[in-house]
């Protein structure tokens, strides 16, 4: 079983907590940075899972017992490539969202908006524009093309 | 024989590359997709027969023996699920191609659709076959990356938010998976599943429980287990019908498969697991009640999907050979029927121009074929005898009743959730197919592939849907031999020795 030193444990704790904190935010940009930070945390943990730093595992350069474990390094490399690619995709998606809706905010889900709409006295989402303190966003306006359940 | 195991992974990924090369010729792309998936189905059938006759088929990639190298393992369970998944993928592909042809004509095809579709199939095959925890992660990533593209393809302002939710949730669960792998490696020094099975047993019980719970959370998110299900009814309905059908049929089931594999092989317990039993009850009841509250046809089907994930969790939670066998049989049944229902939902939407159940009505008179196509899978999902749903639920109920008092009580919830499912689909039936006929709504947004009120359907779309129904009828007809296979698969899973001996020699 591998144990790690306190400094690394603290770094990991900070990376994970910052990552999860940012994931809870509304702006897609912050969520994206949260994913990146969380990804760094996971990759660092994967690295540390191989044990303390040691010599490069290349035959002939050092005695075999001084080698670092190469497997977690290979795993971390793969994971870095994957998180990198998917972060790029998410970034592209954020841009698309900005083009389509004018902001990159992750909205409440449809069900929440339906319930909120049905609890308003007039019971319709189109009325968002009048009187309420909500900012009109094209996203929910387009979503309201879909039928809204009438209050009973 | 051993080289055959690599084909379900190799063929689709090479096919995906070929479809990129032939991006200009729509017909060649379509042909490649269908031929590849047909070949993979044939290979999966051969693997199933081989695994059932003479034990798991193992291939060591690059000639490195386990636990050093990566192994691909086709045992009864993985070969069976691979076969069903590929057949369903093939039917969905036929449906998708014909939807495209009826909307845009024969000569064009989307540049991304076919490569991505085959990549998704690659990821699913790899997830079933791999005997290595990290390859499982890679398989999930291939599958999910492909699904991100499919769910956000041709997106518009109303759909982008749900696409984003889906991508963010899946990425988070992938990072949790990565964390789990790091912790597993730090405590055992291996990622080979068979090797892990031996080494995890030597760990202190507290650590073992922690690792086990982490895998349950990770795969629970992917399988949409309550309370980790919230993303599913919100994102799946916002993709075009064939894509939703594929996701609903395969992606969550791969999560359940991963749970089943890791919980039985790596973290074997003694007797029913209380945590999983509670989660199973929650999933069944919350999903079914959620479905009853919906007015959107696709959201309703998505909640039913969540509910039925609970049935599969239940079989796993019972934790004996019969329970595992029941789960395997249920996965086989549910992949087929859930994909069929979403395809039928797509056909209904094309007829009516809406997904809102309130705005449909009297469809049985206008389109009797559609009524039949909906009725059979709906009754199958609810588990009315003599459908495949009844066979699968019976296996689960018998497993639950035969184990302990606790599992017998949860078996009661299985019956309750089945009745709620029946209620939900009957409500759909009454409101969509009976009542006064309503005029179809016009196509609100012609560029949107989601709600297409064109009423243009080609015969192959119906044929593909009917073929899936035929598969589910075949499952019911072959219930005897099939449940014998899943029973043997369940025994293998719990005994662990066939898998361990085949991999580690």
The pLDDT value recorded for residue A39 is 94
> What interhelical angle do B479-495 and B252-265 show, nearest 10?
50
- CA gap B83, B75 in Å, rounded: 12
pLDDT band at A2, cuts 50/70/90? confident
Give the CA count within 13 Å in the CB-facing half-sphere of B91. Answer: 30
For all residues of chain A together, what is the average pLDDT? 78
The pLDDT value recorded for residue B46 is 96
- CA gap B242, B247 in Å, rounded: 9
Kindly report the backbone phi and psi dihedral angles of residue B282, in degrees, each rounded to the nearest multiple of 5, phi listed first.
-55, -45
The pLDDT value recorded for residue A129 is 42
Per the structure block, which two tokens stand in for B499?
């898998």
Nearest CA in chain A to B233: A111
How far apart are the CA of B122 and the nearest CA of chain A, in angstroms?
16
Give the other-Cβ count within 10 Å of A135's Cβ: 9
Closest CA to B417 of B220, B281, B225, B323: B281
Model confidence at B307: pLDDT above 70? yes
Model confidence at A18: pLDDT above 90? yes
- CA gap B343, B244 in Å, rounded: 8
Name which residue leads in pLDDT, B457 or B364: B364
For chain B, give the percent of residues with pLDDT over 90. 72
Q: Quick check: B465 and B106 in contact, CB under 8 A?
A: no
Determine which of B116, B126, B139, B160 to mutate to test the interface with A (most A C-beta atoms within 10 Å): B160
Cβ–Cβ below 8 Å for A147 and B141: no
The pLDDT value recorded for residue B454 is 62
What tens digit of pLDDT does each residue of B136-183 get?
Answer: 999 999 999 999 999 988 877 778 888 888 999 999 999 999 999 999
Q: Structure pTM?
A: 0.91
What tens digit of pLDDT does each residue of A117-148 get?
Answer: 777 766 444 444 434 444 444 444 444 444 44
Contacts of A41 in chain B (CB under 8 A): 175, 179
- CA gap B377, B385 in Å, rounded: 12
Contacts of B175 in chain A (CB under 8 A): 19, 35, 38-39, 41-42, 83
Give how far Cα B488 sits from Cα of B188, B482, B484, Å: 30, 10, 6
Of B171-180, B306-315, B377-386, B443-452, the poorest mean pLDDT is in: B443-452
DSSP character string of B449-460: SSS-TT----HH
Cβ–Cβ below 8 Å for B179 and A49: no
The pLDDT value recorded for residue A105 is 72
Name which residue leads in pLDDT, B197 or A113: B197
3-state secondary structure string, B293-319?
A: CCCEHHHHHHHHHHHHHHHHHHHHHHC
What tens digit of pLDDT does each residue of B127-146 get?
Answer: 999 999 999 999 999 999 99
How large is the ipTM?
A: 0.87
- CA gap B198, A105 in Å, rounded: 47
Cβ–Cβ below 8 Å for B295 and A149: yes
Of A34-43, B393-402, B412-421, B456-465, the poorest mean pLDDT is in: B456-465
Closest CA to B324 of B499, B191, B170: B499
Model confidence at A15: pLDDT above 80? yes
Cβ–Cβ below 8 Å for A42 and B183: no
Closest CA to B218 of B173, B268, B171: B173
Give the CA count within 13 Å in the CB-facing half-sphere of A99. Answer: 8
- CA gap B83, B328 in Å, rounded: 13
For chain B, give the percent of residues with pLDDT over 70. 97
The pLDDT value recorded for residue A110 is 65
Domain that includes residue B415, residue range: 2-504
The pLDDT value recorded for residue A139 is 44
The pLDDT value recorded for residue B390 is 93
Contacts of A112 in chain B (CB under 8 A): none
The pLDDT value recorded for residue A108 is 67
Per the structure block, which two tokens stand in for B304?
């039913």
Cβ–Cβ below 8 Å for A93 and B158: no
The pLDDT value recorded for residue B340 is 95
Cβ–Cβ below 8 Å for B356 and A146: yes
For all residues of chain B together, what is the average pLDDT? 91
Nearest CA in chain A to B166: A90
Per the structure block, which two tokens stand in for B68?
């050093």
Nearest CA in chain B to A44: B182
The pLDDT value recorded for residue B286 is 94
Q: Which of A1, A110, A145 sits opposite B186 (nearest CB)?
A: A1
Tally of domains within chain B: 1
How far apart are the CA of B185 and the nearest CA of chain A, in angstroms?
6
The pLDDT value recorded for residue B327 is 95
Nearest CA in chain B to A90: B167
**Residue A38: which residues within 8 A CB-CB, separation 6 or more?**
A15, A16, A19, A20, A23, B172, B175
Model confidence at A33: pLDDT above 70? yes
Determine which of B133, B145, B154, B175 to mutate to test the interface with A (most A C-beta atoms within 10 Å): B175
Can you tell me whether residue B58 is helix, strand or coil?
Answer: strand
What value does the mean pLDDT take over residues A106-124?
68
Of A50-59, A81-90, B69-78, B303-312, the poorest mean pLDDT is in: A50-59
What tens digit of pLDDT does each residue of B239-277 get?
Answer: 888 999 999 999 999 999 999 999 999 998 877 889 999
pLDDT band at A12, cuts 50/70/90? very high
What value does the mean pLDDT take over residues B23-30?
90
What tens digit of pLDDT does each residue of B316-333 get?
Answer: 999 889 999 999 999 999
pLDDT band at B453, cuts 50/70/90? low
Model confidence at A150: pLDDT above 60? no
Please state the domain extents for chain A. 6-101, 110-143
Model confidence at B34: pLDDT above 50? yes
Q: For B90-110, b where at least 16 C-beta lie within 10 A, e where not — what string?
A: bbbbbbbbbbbbbeeeeeebb
């Amino acid at each position: 079983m591998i144990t790690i030193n306190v400094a690394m444990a603290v770094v990991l704790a900070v990376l994970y907590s910052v990552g999860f904190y940012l994931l809870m935010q509304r702006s897609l940009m912050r969520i994206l940075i949260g994913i990146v930070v969380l990804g760094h945390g996971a990759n660092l943990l994967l690295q540390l899972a191989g044990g303390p730093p040691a010599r490069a595992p290349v035959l002939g350069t050092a005695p075999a017992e001084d080698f670092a474990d190469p497997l977690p390094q290979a795993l971390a490399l793969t994971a870095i490539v994957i998180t990198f690619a998917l972060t790029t995709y998410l970034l592209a998606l954020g841009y698309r969202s900005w083009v389509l809706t004018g902001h990159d905010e992750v909205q409440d889900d449809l069900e929440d908006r339906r319930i909120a709409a049905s609890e308003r006295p007039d019971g319709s989402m189109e009325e968002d524009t009048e009187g309420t303190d909500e900012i009109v966003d094209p996203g929910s306006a387009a979503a309201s093309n879909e039928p809204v359940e009438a209050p009973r | 024989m051993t080289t055959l195991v690599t084909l379900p992974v190799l063929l689709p990924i090479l096919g995906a590359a070929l479809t990129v090369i032939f991006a200009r010729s729509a017909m060649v792309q379509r042909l490649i997709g269908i031929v590849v998936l047909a070949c993979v189905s044939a290979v999966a059938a051969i693997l199933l027969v081989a695994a059932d006759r003479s034990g798991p088929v193992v291939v060591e990639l690059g000639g490195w023996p386990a636990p050093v190298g990566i192994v691909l393992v086709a045992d009864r369970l993985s070969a069976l699920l691979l076969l069903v998944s590929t057949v369903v993928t093939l039917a969905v592909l036929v449906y998708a191609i014909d939807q495209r042809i009826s909307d845009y004509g024969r000569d064009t095809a989307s540049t991304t659709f076919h490569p991505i579709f085959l990549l998704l199939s690659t990821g699913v095959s790899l997830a079933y076959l791999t005997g290595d925890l990290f390859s499982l992660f890679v398989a999930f990533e291939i599958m999910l990356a492909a699904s991100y593209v499919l769910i956000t393809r041709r997106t518009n302002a109303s759909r982008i938010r749900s696409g984003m939710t889906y991508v963010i949730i899946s990425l988070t669960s992938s990072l949790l998976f990565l964390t789990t792998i790091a912790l597993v490696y730090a405590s055992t020094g291996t990622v080979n599943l068979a090797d892990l099975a031996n080494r995890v047993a030597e760990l202190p019980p507290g650590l073992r429980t922690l690792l086990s719970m982490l895998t349950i959370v990770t795969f629970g998110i992917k399988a949409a287990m309550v309370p980790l299900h919230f993303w599913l009814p919100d994102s799946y309905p916002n993709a075009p019908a064939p894509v939703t059908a594929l996701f609903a049929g395969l992606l969550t089931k791969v999560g359940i498969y991963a749970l089943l594999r890791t919980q039985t092989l790596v973290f074997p317990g003694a007797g029913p697991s209380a945590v999983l039993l509670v989660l199973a009850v929650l999933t069944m009841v919350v999903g079914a009640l959620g479905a009853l509250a919906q007015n959107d046809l696709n959201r309703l089907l998505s909640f039913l999907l969540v509910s039925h994930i609970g049935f599969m969790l239940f079989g796993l939670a019972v934790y004996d050979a019969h329970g595992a066998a029941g789960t395997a049989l249920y996965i086989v049944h549910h992949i087929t029927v859930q994909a069929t229902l979403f395809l039928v939902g797509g056909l209904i939407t094309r007829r009516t121009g809406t997904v809102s159940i309130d705005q449909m009505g009297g469809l049985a008179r206008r389109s009797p074929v559609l009524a039949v196509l909906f009725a059979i899978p709906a009754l199958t999902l609810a588990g009315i005898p003599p459908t495949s749903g009844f066979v699968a639920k019976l296996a689960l109920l018998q497993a639950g009743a035969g184990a302990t008092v606790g599992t017998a009580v949860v078996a009661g919830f299985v019956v309750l959730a089945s009745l709620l499912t029946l209620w939900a689909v009957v409500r759909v039936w009454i409101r969509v197919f009976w009542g006064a006929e309503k005029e179809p709504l016009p196509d609100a947004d012609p560029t949107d592939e989601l709600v297409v009120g064109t009423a243009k359907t080609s015969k192959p779309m119906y044929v593909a849907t009917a073929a899936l129904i035929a598969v589910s009828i075949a499952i019911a007809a072959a219930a005897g031999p099939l449940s014998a296979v899943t029973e043997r698969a369940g025994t293998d899973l719990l005994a662990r020795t066939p898998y361990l001996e085949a991999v580690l020699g």
